[in-house]
Structure 1
Amino acid sequence: MSSARPPGLPNVDATTPAVLVLPGPVARDDVPRLCETVRARLQPSGAHIVVCDVAGLGPPGLTTIDALARMQLAARRAGGRIRLRAPDPALRALLALVGLPFEVEGQPEQREPPLSVEEAVEPGDPPL
């Protein structure tokens, strides 16, 4: 069984999310470049997730929120999504306040809870 490798990227597996580190505060002029970077990391690799390491962003502001929202939109248009790595509690609170749901690395995805299976043994049933 061979793993899917994007053309031109021999050491990258298509199932491994790309990581984009966002150092320091984000300026408004950075947003188009960040969106293009997200698109570029999704399209040739075949990956569906870009992990954004936001640990070094510092105190979040509206420019940061705008950048993350636009990056998520760019990812969705490219058939993927953004997952945050190490978001500050203030950033998470601000994202929740403005109603932008982001998947956070290390947290389970929001899905339906698994159905439990109940097995009962009736008296007289043969052993398995």
Structure 2
Amino acid sequence: MSSGPPDGLLMVDATTPAVLVLPGPVARDEVPGLCDDVRARLAATGAGVVVCDIGGLGPPGLTTVDILARLELAARRAGGRIRLRNPHPGLRGLLDLVGLRFESEGQTEEREPAGGVQEAVEPGDPPL
């Protein structure tokens, strides 16, 4: 037995970001459409973050940096931001070189200790 879709509005979890997959090389004329996609996903979810899966883009270059900068600008103007998923290992260095910072999935935020790290206690330290 099957049932149809529920009546009324679908519930969207505002804490779960939408995902935009960039499966391969992106042409310059495709970027405005991708920016529209980012804005639409932010509006639809209300999460404030769109995860961009960029694993399919291949080795990073300045074209990749330009695309990511434009997507981030579109997200910021819509009141959100993008988070990178599956970035190429060399991308972080290239982004640092041009002065851009992006949050990546699985990356600890600044001022936040990495999970599972415990501080060592030295003999003779006073108890807390």
Indicate whether the TM-score tops 0.5: yes
Provide Cα deviations, 1:81-116, integer angstroms capped at 9, x if missing partner.
110011011222211111110001001122467xxx
SS in 2 for 1:89: coil
- How far apart, CA to CA, are the structure 2 residues paired with 1:111 and 1:74? 27
- 1:108 maps to 2:108: yes
8 Å CA contact retained: 1:22, 1:56: yes
User: Identity, % of aligned pairs?
Assistant: 72
Aligned letter for 2:44?
P
- 4+ runs of 1 displaced by more than 6 Å? none
CA–CA distance in structure 2, aligned partners of residues 91 and 46 of structure 1: 28
Report Cα offsets for 1:27-59 as digits up to 9, x if no partner: 111110111100000013211110011111112
> Distance between the aligned counterparts of 2:70 and 2:47, measured in 1?
19
What SS does structure 1 have at the residue aligned with 2:50?
A: strand
- Whether 1:35 aligns to 2:55 is no
Q: Residue in 2 aligned with 1:67? A: 67
Post-superposition offset of 1:119: 7.4
Equivalents in 1 of 2:86, 2:19: separation in Å? 12
Q: CA RMSD in A?
A: 2.2
| Structure 2 residue runs without a partner (length 5+) | 1-7, 114-125
Contact 1:27 1:63 in 2 (8 A): no
Conserved 8 A contact 2:55-2:87: yes
Give me the TM-score of the superposition, normalised by structure 1: 0.76
State the SS of the aligned residue for 1:20.
strand
Quote the residue 1:47 is aligned against: 47
